[in-house]
Amino acid sequence: VLVLEASLNGKVKTGRKGTSMYQIALHGRASHAGLEPEKGINATTEIANIVVEVAKLANPEFGTTVVPTVMHSGTTTNTVPALATLDIDIRSFSAAELIRVNNSIKNLKATHPDAKIEITGGINRPPLETTSTSELYEILEKVASESGLEPVGQASVGGASDGNFAAAAGARVLDGLGAVGDGAHAPHEQILLSSIPSRVKLLTAFIKELIRD
């Protein structure tokens, strides 16, 4: 399986992190923030405690990142919030790490005894490991050399693609064969037009080699 996602500074992607995605909803109880805040259960402070707890689950040794992203809470300034929601993005090069974090998130508890926590989501994509990409990468470098092109190079990255699924199904995979560019998901996201001719030449020769193989 050849994935034409953008390359990383010209390098193909021989490793990708697996991903997990979760949404946590904290159900509290609304009350007037000035008259009787003690009768409410503040969902904002409950979700804040969860943010602190999930941040502890990161593990740099395996490239495991746990990033709270989107959070919503409350309705008006003078109301104790009855509901807060939090989205969490988790990534790791290790399948075991994704399972570890999944188990920890599924076991999160609310701080207030009467608050209710609802957790949805789970592991989304398994990691793309180099055992699935090394064979095709070696062929690609051979083709580049025979075509008079510079060595391509390889990289492992935090973003995931459909190549993760293909590798998990047992396919040989090589990712990042698309255009050279910069700024993924940023306002300056772009491809370098000057890189397209050499990229097309490489990809064409690579496919022909695989067909012969």
Domains of the chain: which residue ranges?
7-16+128-212, 18-125
Report the alpha-carbon distance of residue 9 to residue 24 in Å, rounded. Answer: 36
CA of residue 1 relative to chain centroid, distance: 20
Spell out a b/e string for 28-49, using b for 16 or more CB atoms within 10 Å of the CB, else e. bbbbebeeeeeebbbbbbbbbb
| pLDDT of 7 | 82
| pLDDT of 191 | 86
Tell me the whole-structure pTM to 2 decimals: 0.83
Weakly modelled stretches of the chain, pLDDT under 70: none
| pLDDT of 204 | 95
| pLDDT of 134 | 94
- Topology of domain 18-125 in CATH is Alpha-Beta Plaits (3.30.70)
In one-letter notation, the amino acid at residue 64 is: T
- Topology of domain 7-16+128-212 in CATH is Aminopeptidase (3.40.630)
